[in-house]
Amino acid sequence: MALDSKEVVWQQSIVSKEKRLQLNRHKSFIIWLTGLSGAGKSTIATNLEFQLHQSGIRTYLLDGDNIRHGLCKDLGFRPEDRQENIRRVSEIAKLFVDAGQVVVTALISPYITDREMARNLVNEDEFVEVYVKCPLYECERRDPKGLYQKARSGMIPNFTGISAPYEEPLAAEVVVESDKQTVEESVKQILGYLREANLL
């Protein structure tokens, strides 16, 4: 039985977010990579986190597949499951921001409303949406996990881009075109934005 909201009280920590930021000596925020399966989100996110780490930034990567191995292994891919998946990841990302760290997420996150929900959990300057843009035909050509082939044959229902929609970001802070740019160029572009925005 779920507890009534009146029975659940937020426990305030003695160590504030500001104190954590002072200790870490950098700002904390979310870098949210979104895009179709096969667009290159995980590869870009992994290399981005490495570059940040090399620069002395405390980071953590929340990859969509990794999350579904544990925290969200009970969820499927229906719209309501996808929404709950993003809600859980968003709440975790918010905790990392409070912990004073930079969290990089790599999730398809196909719905605009879900990404906006994630954005609204933190301050305006603590969320950077990165659209890893790649044409569907190129994602299908790559098909690193063989998922598009299975989706086309009907083996995977509710597959984003085939039998389920992907809503492109309307105003992402960064758009990288992974069919035209190398991983290194994409990471450099994201880092360039972070510096221009005075986040690094």
Q: What is the pLDDT of residues 171-187, one digit of tens each?
A: 999 999 999 999 999 99
**Winning range, highest mean pLDDT, from 24-33, 68-77, 136-145:** 24-33
Average pLDDT over residues 8-15: 86
Tell whether 8 is covered by a domain.
no
Average pLDDT over residues 34-41: 97
Which letter does DSSP use for residue 153 in this model?
T
Cβ density class 107-145: b for 16+ within 10 Å, e for less: bbbbbeebbeebbebbeeebbbbbbbbbebebbbebbee
Which domain does 164 fall in, by range? 19-196
- At 100, is the pLDDT very low, low, confident or very high (cuts 50, 70, 90)? very high
Tell whether 187 is covered by a domain.
yes
Average predicted confidence (pLDDT) for the chain: 94
pLDDT for position 18 = 94
pLDDT for position 145 = 87
Average pLDDT over residues 13-38: 95
Residue with tokens 């579904």: 68
CATH code of residue 154: 3.40.50.300
Tell whether 10 is covered by a domain.
no
- The whole-model pTM stands at 0.93
Tell whether 84 is covered by a domain.
yes
- At 124, is the pLDDT very low, low, confident or very high (cuts 50, 70, 90)? very high
Out of 109, 153, 178, 186, which one is annotated catalytic? Answer: 109
CA angle 185, 113, 167 (to 5 degrees): 55
For the cut 80, the answer to whether the pLDDT of residue 4 exceeds it is no
Q: What is the pLDDT of residues 45-67, one digit of tens each?
A: 999 999 999 999 999 999 988 98
Tell whether 2 is covered by a domain.
no
d(CA 148, CA 155): 10
Please count the structural domains in the chain.
1
pLDDT for position 106 = 97
Q: What is the pLDDT of residues 129-152, one digit of tens each?
A: 999 999 999 999 998 889 999 999
28 is an active site residue: no
